Copies of this chain bind each other. A is one copy, B any other.
């Protein structure tokens, strides 16, 4: 992995084109062939390329003159021209670390509210919770693409038979009250042994919802970015 700090100019050509005039920046080239060019402010890189770039480096009298990173599909190129290098680091990073995301059941619920398609395409939220008599509160109360009511029970860890029975109580309570088909969906990262069989017997669905998916929705990288540009 390379980290180069220096005075450079950058030209991108591909689906559009950009030109960054001279200035000091930090260039990062990663082991997978991705490229980042960072200015002193802004958490987004000013130019970047995804992995699998091919590189062409030009030296003049042993001095770095230019780096051209190209990709196909789409055909694009990023050309950096240097006239002064402050620091150049060639790093071998020992990193076998694991990245784990943790979301609470409440945060999973918030993610599903923001993006009901996590549970099922076409699902529409009716309300966050609905009191089910003495059975307690459902997690998410929704309507599917065919207009059927849907009770979603969310579990943070692998769901047990108890979770399936809890879902069953909500659905049974609701069925007594409304004159429409009611479905039950158990949304969890996984199922404990025996839960799948019980769910099938009760006629309910399981949807694997991972903490990773919820994390992406709860902390999206491009918060307000596109919306800024779209007025």
Contact = CB atoms under 8 A, between A and B. Distances in A.
Nearest to A50: B43
A59 interface: no
Interface string A190-231: 000000000000000000000111111111111101100110
Interface in A87-142: 87, 89, 91, 93-103, 107, 110, 115, 117-118
Interface stretch (A10-18, A60-68, A144-152): A10-18
Nearest to A102: B17
A190 B193 CA distance: 64
Interface stretch (A23-31, A158-166, A167-175, A179-187): A23-31
A19 B25 CA distance: 29
Contacts of A220: 226
Contact of A22 (B97, B221, B223): B97
Indicate the member of A44, A115, A118, A219 with the most B CB atoms within 10 Å: A219
For the residues of A in contact with B, the DSSP-based class is: mixed
Interface of A: 1, 3, 5, 7, 9, 14-26, 28, 30-32, 34-36, 38-44, 46, 48-51, 86-87, 89, 91, 93-103, 107, 110, 115, 117-118, 211-223, 225-226, 229-230
